[in-house]
Amino acid sequence: MKDEAALRRQSPRVLLNVVSVLLLSCGLLCSAEKQRTPAKYQVVIIQAAGYPPEEKKPEGVDAITHPTTKGLNTYVFTSKLVEHLARLGAEVKVVSYLDCRKLACLDPVEKDGTKQFVDLAVFAGPAENGKQQKKLLNFFPQLEGVVKKSPNTVFSTLVPAWYPDTKGRAACKYTDAAFKKAGAKTVMGVSLLTPDRHGKSTPGVSEEKMQKVLKKFADDLIGEVAKH
C-alpha cells in the first residue's frame, strides 16, 4: 500500500517531466525546421571598392583593400543594406568585383537538382565624375548575356558619393540605363553621402537617414523582385 501511495504522489511529477521533454523536443524540431527553411530570394552585391595589387592605390574614403566598418563607405552601406534585405527573407552574397570575372557570380547554379537563379544583383561602388567606378563599367559588355540566362534578375546600384544629389544620382542613372539597354529589369539605385570631401573633415550621411534610405531601398528592391 505504501508503494502504491508513493507511486500516486510521483505520478504528477513524472507526467510533468514527460510533458517538459515533449515540449523541449518540439522546440528543437521547430527550430531545426526553421533553420532548414530556404531563403525566399537570392541576392548578389558586387562591391567595387578597393583596388588590385598591380594598380596604384587610389585616394579617398574607398581607397582600401579589404572590408571594414570604419567610415561611411561602400562596405558600411553594403553591410547595412544586407541587414535590411535579410529582414525581408533574402540570402545575400557580397562579392568583390575581382571575384566576379565576366559576371560569373550571377550565373544560375545547380542546387538540389534544380537551377537556382539570382533574383537581385546590386552594383555597389563610389561615384567618379558622374559614373560608377570603371571596375563596374567594365561589366557592361557582359550584361546582355546575363539577362539572356536569367531574364527575371532585377538590377540596381548603391553609390557612395561626395555629391549624392548630383554626381551620385547621375552615376545611378548611367548604370541603370546600361541595365535597361541590356534588357534587364531594374530599380533606380540610391546614393549616400560619404565624409571627408576632398580631404577635408566633413560629415557623411547621418545614421538615421542612412537607415531610413536603405530600409526603403531594400523594400523597393524586394518589392520588384516579388513581381517576377
- Whole-number Å distance between alpha carbons of 32 and 35: 5
Percent of the chain with pLDDT over 70: 75
DSSP 148-173: HH-TT-EEEEEEEESSIIIIIHHHHH
Could you tell me which residue, 196 or 137, shows the higher pLDDT?
137
Q: What is the pLDDT of residues 54-110, one digit of tens each?
A: 667 667 667 665 566 667 889 899 999 999 999 999 999 999 998 999 999 999 988
Do the beta carbons of residue 15 and residue 7 sit within 8 Å?
Answer: no
Question: Which pTM value belongs to this model?
Answer: 0.80
Residue with cell 521533454: 21
Give pLDDT, residue 196. 82
Average pLDDT of the residues of the chain: 84
The better pLDDT of the pair 201, 172 is held by 172
DSSP notation for 126-138: -EETTEE-HHHHT
Domain range list for the chain: 1-37, 41-225
Report how far residue 168's alpha carbon sits from residue 67's, in angstroms, rounded to the nearest whole number: 22
Taking the CA atoms of 86, 170, 124 and 138 in sequence, report the sign of the dihedral they define.
positive
Instruction: Give the phi and the psi of residue 118 in degrees, each rounded to 5.
Output: -80, 125
| Class of residue 94 by CB neighbours under 10 A (exposed 0-12, middle 13-18, buried 19+) | middle
19-56, pLDDT tens digit by residue? 444 444 455 444 444 454 667 999 999 998 766 666 67
Q: What is the fold of 41-225?
A: Rossmann fold (3.40.50)
What does the alpha-carbon distance between residue 10 and residue 33 come to, in Å, rounded to a whole number? 35
